[in-house]
């Protein structure tokens, strides 16, 4: 029987409460165990040797001296990771990224690894491995990589999406196009056209917990992996495939996760830990240093984007187009395609065309980073929207409201929208007191909009009721920021009991069916949906048990206020049975009470936000401070408002860092110059103001409670909101992110000079 996922406008008892999270005490006392906090008897220390070159042929790896060092238990190179992918190039890319195969493709690419009895010996062993490199020409800039004479990063890559099929390999792995209507005709109709090009630099998710795992392979071919990840089931499947282990024989347990933001959706080094363990026949703990995290785990793309918008004098946009070039690091991906899909998603456009270019360079493999690809596209589009509003003499909010997408709009990337939040967030911005607050000298206000798709995906949830009437909720999505609290609220709501009676935990891969990665803001949406149906199934079981206890037909039993009630005149003498009473009798009425649900949660419900930002620019130093910030976003339904606000605030803060400070800086030699938190500066507490939030609730019609994902959209608007604010503060329009002090000073100098 299919479950009805349609939204019903029900009243909530539990959902919406700001309850204490179940993992709170563990996390404030230091008891919670993260990736690096597991220890196994006899465990070895693993370390990875990495390429110091941006691009080099590996002529020889001599591990003999390292192997002979006392205390070294295993040394591995790509020879220990044979190709078991059966021609699956995507899998091969993961494997090759874990360990270079004859060619180092970026500064930091893994070349060999050791496992030794302690850190000191492991470090010495790394020094004893002799690698002979032959340096090759490299390219790290996205525009340079597209030039005809650029060094080719991967010779198996031929541009897809063009006819006829190219005959020569290219750094452009794919070209994709979206849109509808006729943009040429649209631009011809326009009274005003604005065209501008933008660049954004590469940033890292910057989770505070480095990648870490503890691998433990047994000589019988089975194994266990403890790992910090956003998706242990997916990690299991990938590692099993790459190492030739049966899926059922590899048990992966997700540790508490110290931040991911997309960066922990990718397998970076876990197969190496497993292979070291297999070779040494001992458990191996492998933990990245911060330097390794920056160099060899996924940052997001750097980009180069051209935007063109045409409008009538009355503010109607007649055509909009964009070319978006995204670098994906050394392995093909489709981040440029996603950028091209999101660029104009906020607007109702008659004629729109976007072209995404996916480009290879000698940088680390790009990973998802919170609403991946959308912030850069929004920077280009939303900056241009402000420029256009200026030219038309229109208020930027009014201009956006006039062109905002609404229910029935065909999105620039294809689908037709249902009920959506872009209009309401803009109206809320218009009304917000922030918009009327006074500004001082060198201060300016900007606003911008953002969109994210959201994702549902495969989900499996168990709900077990103990004989004392307490409830164990077992989910397979990772708790990245309080979802165990939200999911417990949902279970309590369905069962009609108090939140305190539910305890949610994340199961290992041996204890629950497959769950997709916790990405696309899906944790609370999809596991929430599965929890609702698992609870409803458990209710059905309990109704049956109550019927048995009363000895009446189950059709005469309903579930109300956390208990079974007998309906109909014949049973009016029967007092209701509480969940607790039914649970207590369960050993006699048929055994344990449980509810399960397996689903592919579709229709996650798109998400929109509008942000307002005030900045103050110091014209002497070019340094910019955010002095006030407001996030307005549609959550569909906020299950636990604290953690919804937390997502809004955290995304905004990451966007602020991206806009003003954060960037990967590559030297001429193609090596990363700032792989540490000192030189790659993320916002600290004294950099930021309080971040105000306004949660709007426009129900997702495809979720029983109306939930939409909330985790990602908040990083989309800040880049442009700050760019617009800087422009309003000191009159210079920055088209290059981050707007670091030197870039702002240069723009101010040029303004003064010109």
Partner 1 sequence: MSSVLVSTTINGDPVEFACPPEETLLDSLRDRVGLTGVKEGCGTGDCGSCSVTLDGRLMCSCLVLSAEVEGKQVGTVEGMVQNGQLHPLQESFIDNAALQCGICTPGFLVAANALLARNANPTETEIRYALAGNLCRCTGYDKIVRAVQVASKEMRKKSKKTKKK
Binding site for partner 1 (CB under 8 A): 18, 20-21, 23-25, 27-34, 36-37, 39, 119-120, 205-210, 256-261, 287, 289-290, 480-482, 642-643, 645-647, 649-650, 652-654, 676-678, 682-688, 690-691
Interface with ligand FES includes 26 (CB under 6 A)?
Answer: no
* Cβ nearer to partner 1, comparing 256 with 386: 256
* Cβ nearer to ligand FES, comparing 208 with 248: 208
Minimum distance of ligand FES from residue 272's CB (angstroms): 23
* Cβ nearer to partner 1, comparing 108 with 704: 108
Among 162, 188, 208, 570, binds ligand FES (CB under 6 A): 208
Q: From the list partner 1, ligand FES, none, which binds 224 (C-beta under 5 to 8 Å, kind-based)?
A: none
Q: How far apart are CA 226 and CA 45, in angstroms?
A: 15
Q: From the list partner 1, ligand FES, none, which binds 206 (C-beta under 5 to 8 Å, kind-based)?
A: partner 1
Q: How far apart are CA 491 and CA 498, in angstroms?
A: 9
Minimum distance of partner 1 from residue 214's CB (angstroms): 12
Q: How far apart are CA 562 and CA 542, in angstroms?
A: 11
Nearest to 489 by CA among 257, 711, 705, 261: 705
Q: From the list partner 1, ligand FES, none, which binds 652 (C-beta under 5 to 8 Å, kind-based)?
A: partner 1
* Cβ nearer to partner 1, comparing 356 with 657: 657
* Cβ nearer to ligand FES, comparing 208 with 467: 208
* Cβ nearer to ligand FES, comparing 574 with 653: 653
Q: Which tokens is 611 given?
A: 């942000």
Q: From the list partner 1, ligand FES, none, which binds 21 (C-beta under 5 to 8 Å, kind-based)?
A: partner 1
* Cβ nearer to ligand FES, comparing 208 with 665: 208
Minimum distance of partner 1 from residue 292's CB (angstroms): 11
* Cβ nearer to ligand FES, comparing 315 with 481: 481
Minimum distance of ligand FES from residue 64's CB (angstroms): 35
Query: Taking the C-alpha atoms of 430, 431, 434 and 438 in order, what is their torsion angle to the nearest 10 degrees?
Result: 90
| Residues 385-404 close enough to bind ligand FES by CB under 6 A | none
Minimum distance of ligand FES from residue 292's CB (angstroms): 14
What are the CA-CA distances from residue 686 to residues 367, 630, 706, 717 (Å)? 29, 18, 37, 22
Q: How far apart are CA 269 and CA 251, in angstroms?
A: 17
Among 24, 169, 259, 741, binds ligand FES (CB under 6 A): 259
Q: How far apart are CA 293 and CA 263, in angstroms?
A: 10
Residue nearest to ligand FES (CB): 208
Q: From the list ligand FES, partner 1, none, which binds 521 (C-beta under 5 to 8 Å, kind-based)?
A: none
Minimum distance of partner 1 from residue 682's CB (angstroms): 6
**Pairing status of strand 317-327 against strand 352-359:** parallel
Minimum distance of partner 1 from residue 479's CB (angstroms): 9
Q: How far apart are CA 290 and CA 296, in angstroms?
A: 10
Q: Which tokens is 329 given?
A: 């690091």
Nearest to 542 by CA among 578, 504, 502: 578
Minimum distance of partner 1 from residue 122's CB (angstroms): 13
Q: How far apart are CA 718 and CA 285, in angstroms?
A: 38
Minimum distance of partner 1 from residue 584's CB (angstroms): 31
Could you tell me how many residues of this chain bind ligand FES (CB under 6 A)? 2
* Cβ nearer to partner 1, comparing 655 with 704: 655
Length of the chain: 754
Q: Which tokens is 359 given?
A: 């480009």
Q: How far apart are CA 301 and CA 328, in angstroms?
A: 6
Nearest to 319 by CA among 307, 334, 301: 307
Q: How many CB atoms lie within 10 A of CB 505?
A: 15
Interface with ligand FES includes 467 (CB under 6 A)?
Answer: no
* Cβ nearer to ligand FES, comparing 259 with 741: 259
> To which H or E segment does residue 378 belong?
helix 374-392
Q: From the list partner 1, ligand FES, none, which binds 442 (C-beta under 5 to 8 Å, kind-based)?
A: none
* Cβ nearer to partner 1, comparing 95 with 126: 126
State whether residue 734 is helix, strand or coil: coil
Interface with ligand FES includes 27 (CB under 6 A)?
Answer: no
Q: From the list partner 1, ligand FES, none, which binds 482 (C-beta under 5 to 8 Å, kind-based)?
A: partner 1
* Cβ nearer to partner 1, comparing 678 with 752: 678
CB 354 within 8 A of CB 324: yes
Q: From the list ligand FES, partner 1, none, which binds 25 (C-beta under 5 to 8 Å, kind-based)?
A: partner 1
Minimum distance of partner 1 from residue 24's CB (angstroms): 4
| Residues 130-159 close enough to bind ligand FES by CB under 6 A | none
DSSP codes of every residue in 648-662: HHHHHHHHHHHHHT-
Interface with ligand FES includes 679 (CB under 6 A)?
Answer: no
DSSP codes of every residue in 228-295: --S-HHHHHHHHHHHHT--GGGEEEEE-B-S--TTGGGS-SSHHHHHHHHHHHTS-EEEE--HHHHHH
Q: How far apart are CA 243 and CA 117, in angstroms?
A: 24
State whether residue 496 is helix, strand or coil: coil
Q: Which residue has the tokens 């009425």?
A: 589
Minimum distance of ligand FES from residue 714's CB (angstroms): 15
* Cβ nearer to partner 1, comparing 50 with 55: 50
* Cβ nearer to ligand FES, comparing 357 with 643: 643
Minimum distance of ligand FES from residue 364's CB (angstroms): 21
Q: From the list ligand FES, partner 1, none, which binds 684 (C-beta under 5 to 8 Å, kind-based)?
A: partner 1
Phi-psi region of 597 (alpha: psi -120 to 50; beta: other; left: phi over 0): beta
Q: How far apart are CA 463 and CA 551, in angstroms?
A: 26
CB 288 within 8 A of CB 114: no
Minimum distance of ligand FES from residue 25's CB (angstroms): 15
Q: From the list partner 1, ligand FES, none, which binds 18 (C-beta under 5 to 8 Å, kind-based)?
A: partner 1
Q: From the list ligand FES, partner 1, none, which binds 13 (C-beta under 5 to 8 Å, kind-based)?
A: none
Q: Which tokens is 584 given?
A: 């207590």
What's the CA angle centered on 261, arms 257 and 266, to 5 degrees? 80
User: Which distant-in-sequence residues (6+ apart) come within 8 Å of 26 by Cβ?
Assistant: 32, 256
Nearest to 614 by CA among 509, 697, 693, 729: 729
Minimum distance of ligand FES from residue 475's CB (angstroms): 20
State whether residue 144 is helix, strand or coil: helix
* Cβ nearer to ligand FES, comparing 293 with 405: 293
Work out the burial of residue 748: count CB atoms within 10 Å of its CB; fewer than 13 is exposed, 13-18 middle, 19 or more buried.
middle
Minimum distance of ligand FES from residue 669's CB (angstroms): 28
**Residues near ligand FES, by CB under 6 A:** 208, 259
């Amino acid at each position: 029987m299919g479950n009805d996922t349609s939204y019903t406008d029900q009243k909530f008892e539990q959902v919406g409460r700001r309850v204490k999270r179940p993992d709170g005490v563990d996390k404030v006392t230091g008891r919670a165990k993260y990736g690096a906090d597991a220890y196994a008897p006899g465990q070895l220390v693993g370390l990875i040797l990495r390429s110091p070159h941006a691009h080099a042929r590996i002529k020889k790896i001599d591990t003999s001296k390292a192997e002979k060092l006392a205390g070294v238990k295993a040394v591995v190179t790509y020879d220990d990771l044979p190709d078991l992918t059966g021609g699956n190039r995507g899998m091969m890319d993961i494997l090759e990224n874990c360990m270079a195969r004859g060619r180092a493709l970026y500064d930091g690419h893994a070349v060999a690894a050791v496992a030794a009895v302690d850190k000191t010996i492991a470090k010495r062993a790394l020094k004893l491995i002799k690698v002979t490199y032959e340096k090759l020409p490299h390219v790290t800039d996205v525009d340079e990589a597209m030039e005809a004479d650029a060094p080719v990063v991967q010779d198996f890559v031929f541009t897809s999406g063009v006819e006829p099929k190219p005959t020569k390999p290219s750094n452009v792995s794919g070209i994709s196009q979206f849109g509808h209507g006729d943009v040429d005709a649209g631009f011809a109709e326009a009274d005003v056209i604005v065209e501008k090009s933008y660049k954004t630099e590469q940033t890292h998710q910057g989770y505070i917990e480095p990648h870490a795992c503890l691998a433990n392979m047994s000589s019988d071919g089975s194994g266990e992996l403890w790992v910090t990840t956003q998706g242990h089931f997916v990690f299991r499947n990938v590692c099993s495939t790459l190492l030739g282990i049966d899926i059922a024989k590899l048990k992966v347990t997700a540790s508490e996760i110290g931040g991911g933001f997309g960066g922990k959706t990718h397998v970076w080094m876990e197969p190496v830990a497993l292979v070291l363990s297999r070779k040494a026949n001992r458990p191996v703990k492998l933990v990245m240093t911060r330097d390794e995290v920056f160099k060899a785990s996924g940052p997001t793309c750097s980009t180069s984007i051209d935007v063109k918008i045409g409008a009538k004098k009355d503010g109607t946009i007649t055509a909009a187009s964009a070319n978006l070039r995204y670098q994906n690091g050394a392995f093909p991906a489709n981040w440029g395609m996603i950028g091209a899909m999101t660029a104009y998603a906020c607007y109702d456009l008659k004629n729109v065309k976007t072209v995404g270019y996916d480009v290879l360079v000698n940088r680390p493999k790009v990973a998802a980073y919170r609403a991946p690809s959308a912030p850069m596209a929004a920077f280009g589009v939303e900056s241009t929207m402000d420029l256009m509003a200026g030219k038309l003499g229109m208020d930027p909010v009014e201009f956006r409201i006039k062109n905002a997408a609404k229910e029935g709009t065909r999105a620039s990337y294809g689908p037709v929208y249902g009920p959506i939040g872009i209009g309401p967030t803009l109206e809320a911005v218009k009304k917000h007191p922030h918009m009327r607050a006074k500004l001082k000298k060198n201060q300016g206000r900007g606003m911008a909009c953002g969109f994210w798709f959201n994702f549902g995906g495969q989900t499996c949830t168990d709900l077990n009721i103990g004989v004392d009437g307490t409830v164990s909720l077992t989910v397979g999505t990772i708790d990245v920021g309080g979802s165990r609290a939200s999911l417990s609220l949902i279970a309590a709501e369905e069962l009609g009991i108090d939140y305190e009676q539910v305890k949610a935990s994340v199961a290992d891969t041996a204890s629950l069916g497959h769950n997709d990665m916790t990405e696309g803001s899906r944790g609370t949406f999809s596991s929430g949906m599965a929890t609702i149906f698992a609870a409803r199934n458990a209710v059905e079981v309990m109704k049956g048990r109550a019927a048995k206890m009363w000895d009446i037909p189950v059709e005469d039993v309903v579930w109300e206020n956390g208990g079974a009630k007998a309906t109909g005149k014949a049973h009016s003498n029967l007092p209701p049975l509480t969940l607790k009473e039914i649970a207590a009798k369960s050993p006699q009425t048929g055994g344990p009470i449980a509810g399960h649900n397996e689903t592919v949660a579709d229709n996650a419900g798109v998400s929109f936000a509008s942000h307002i930002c005030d900045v103050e620019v110091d014209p002497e130093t070019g340094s910019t401070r955010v002095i006030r910030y407001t996030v307005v976003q549609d959550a569909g339904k906020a299950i636990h408002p604290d953690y919804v606000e937390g997502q809004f605030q955290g995304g905004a803060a990451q966007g602020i860092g991206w806009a003003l400070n954060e960037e990967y800086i590559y030297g001429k030699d193609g090596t990363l110059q700032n792989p540490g938190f000192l030189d790659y500066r993320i916002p600290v507490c004294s950099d930021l103001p309080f971040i105000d939030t306004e949660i709007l609730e426009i129900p997702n019609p495809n979720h029983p409670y109306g939930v939409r994902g909330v985790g990602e959209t908040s990083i989309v608007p800040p880049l442009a909101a700050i760019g617009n604010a800087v422009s309003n503060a000191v009159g210079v329009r920055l088209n290059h992110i981050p707007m670091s002090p030197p870039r702002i000073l240069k723009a101010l100098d040029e303004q003064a000079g010109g």
